[in-house]
Every structure is written in C-alpha cells, then in structure tokens.
Amino acid sequence: MRLAIISDIHGNLEALTSALALIDKQSVDEIVCLGDVVGYGASPNECIDMVRQRCKIILLGNHDAAALDLNIAEQFTLNARLSAQWTYENLLPDNKQFLKQLLLTKTIGDILLVHASPYDPEEWHYIFNYFEAKEAFRSFTERICFIGHSHVPLILSEEGEIRHVKKEGRYIVNVGSIGQPRDGNPLLSYGLFDTEAWEYTNVRAEYDKYKAAHKVREAGLPRVLADRLFLGI
C-alpha cells in the first residue's frame, strides 16, 4: 500500500489543493492527515471540508484543539493566539463538531501516526533532533512513527538523524508542513510511504503563495503570517 501522509495544513487552501492534485498523480492508495488542519491560514472551513472528503484518517493537532478551547492557545506565541481566536470565531459549528471527535494517535499495522510525539501526545512535545527523539522511541513499539508539528521534515533512527528509511531498524519521520513550512524552504511538504517496499519519500512542491498570503491579509490576521509563507519560516 502506498500512503500519502500530510500534516500542518493550517488553513492554507492553496497549498492543500496543490498537494492533493499532485498526490492524485502519484498512485496513492490512501491519504492520511496528522492534524493541524486549521490555524494561521484564512481558509479553515474549506480545508476541513477538503480533508474530510479526501483523507481516511485525520488526527487532532494542537491548533485544531485550540480552535475548540482557547485556553490551549494561552501557551502559543502572540500571533498564534490571535490566529486561534480568529479561527475559533470563524469555524462553522459542523466543523467544530468534527474536530471534537478526532483522535490523538492511530496505528496502521506496524505504523504509528501522531501529530506531535508518541510521548504524551496530548502534551504536544516537539521533536527537532535525536536527543528529543530518545524518549519518543521508548514510547512506541511500532517500526515507524510519522509525525508533524514542527513543520520541519526529518528522519530519525534510534542511532541518529539519517537521510533514508531502511527495511531494518525503527524510525520517527516528520513529513513537514503542507501550509506553513519552517525549514527555510517555502515549498509545501508531505510524505509518501510504500508499506511493502518500506520506502519513504519527502515531496516538496510549489503552490500559489501570493493568493494564500492575500487571503491572510484580507482576513485581518497578523501580516507576519502572510509574509512567512514566502520565506519558509
């Protein structure tokens, strides 16, 4: 089975639309979403609608949770709190109800899916490096764990950061962000995983950043949330 694994869409309909159009050309059997469908971007309802139509599995991200309970946003940065407030006020009731029933983790055979970290997933820990991954590896038994949350693509083995997944060993793989990359590369990011060949590919692609940024400004969201789309930060 070939999986497309997307994460951190953050209300960016232009990036999501481009990613799904590309995925449709890549002989994928299923699409799964690791969460944060909303937050930061100006099209939260449209993104939820599209993800609900296209993804078999959808997990809860911290910005999804904050759009339901603004107390969660108290630990966010100022701009993130402002976007959480805007999203909370603009989400349709049906989409809020949908977010409420999302799970934190999901297992597919020897694959674990989670938004942030398998270690206390409800606490939204970040995994940026091998040191932060050590506790995470002790928290799951599956061969591979796919995550998002940091918006930075990354592959970690139990020995350290690597470039490719191998058939032997255990791995934590960050698929990056569809709607707001933060690795200095503004191209949208997602993952493709072949469960039979046990091969993983990180995909980067362009999208209409100008249209997405214009929507952010028109919505009255902080301008920095539009500007950063061009910088990948």
Average pLDDT over residues 76-87: 96
pLDDT exceeds 90 at position 160: no
**Which distant-in-sequence residues (6+ apart) come within 8 Å of 82 by Cβ?**
221, 222
Q: How far apart are CA 153 and CA 131, in angstroms?
A: 16
List beta partners, residue 174. Answer: 147, 154
Whole-number pLDDT of residue 201: 98
Mean pLDDT score of the chain? 96
Report residue 122's pLDDT band, with 50, 70 and 90 as the boundaries: very high
pLDDT exceeds 90 at position 125: yes
pLDDT exceeds 90 at position 145: yes
Between β-strands 30-33 and 57-58, what pairing exists: parallel, antiparallel or unpaired? parallel
Say what the pTM is: 0.96
Average pLDDT over residues 193-217: 97
Neighbouring C-alpha atoms within 13 Å toward the C-beta of 13: 13
Q: How far apart are CA 91 and CA 148, in angstroms?
A: 23
pLDDT exceeds 90 at position 131: no
Q: Three-state SS across the chain?
A: CEEEEECCCCCCHHHHHHHHHHHCCCCCCEEEECCCCCCCCCCHHHHHHHHHHHCCEEECCHHHHHCCCHHHHHHCCHHHHHHHHHHHHHCCHHHHHHHHCCECEEEECCEEEECCCCCCHHHCCCCCCHHHHHHHHCCCCCCEEEECCCCCCEEEECCCECCCCCCCCCEEEECCCCCCCCCCCCCEEEEEEECCCCEEEEEEECCCHHHHHHHHHHCCCCHHHHHHHHCCC
- Backbone φ and ψ for 57, nearest 5 degrees, come out as -125, 130
Whole-number pLDDT of residue 36: 98
Average pLDDT over residues 84-88: 97
The CA-based dihedral angle spanning residues 150, 156, 161, 167, taken in that order and rounded to the nearest 10 degrees: -150
Q: Which amino acid is at 207?
A: Y
Q: How far apart are CA 162 and CA 157, in angstroms?
A: 7
Q: How far apart are CA 189 and CA 175, in angstroms?
A: 7
Q: Which amino acid is at 105?
A: T
Whole-number pLDDT of residue 81: 96
Domains and CATH numbers, the chain: 2-105+175-230 (3.60.21.10)
